[in-house]
Amino acid sequence: MHHAGGAKFQLAGQIAGIPIIFDMGGRVSVTNAAESVVAAVIDIVRPHGRHPPRAIIYRDSAGMYDAMRIERGEFAGFVIVNGTSDHEAFNKLADELHKAPCRLYVPV
């Protein structure tokens, strides 16, 4: 269990380098502590010297999956994917990131 900005979350895994976290019901939600949560997840999953992930998929307290976009290693907004599973959310997120402007591209 990890804590950031009053939120509690669990790192559930990764799909193609995109971390998946679960909101574990802290004082505030992962959504409301997005900037702090993104920074904490990046610290956890990024190997030294590697680029941060482009997004983080999260399961909210209602069990729905959405995503947080990352630019230059910082929270850059939400991507509403309304997934019912991590794989569905990843597929919808991949479509959204593919449509995004080139400036979102982070080489791996």
| Predicted local confidence at residue 49, as pLDDT | 62
Q: How many DSSP H helices and E strands does the chain contain? A: 2, 6
Residue 5, amino acid: G
Closest CA to 32 of 5, 61, 62, 70: 5
Task: For residue 47, give Cα distances in angstroms to 56, 60, 78, 91.
Answer: 16, 26, 24, 24
**Per-residue confidence band for 26, with pLDDT thresholds at 50, 70 and 90:** confident
Q: Assess whether pLDDT exceeds 60 at residue 102.
A: no
Alpha-carbon distance of 91 to 25, in angstroms, equals 26
For residue 91, what are the β-bridge partners?
Answer: none
Alpha-carbon distance of 23 to 51, in angstroms, equals 24
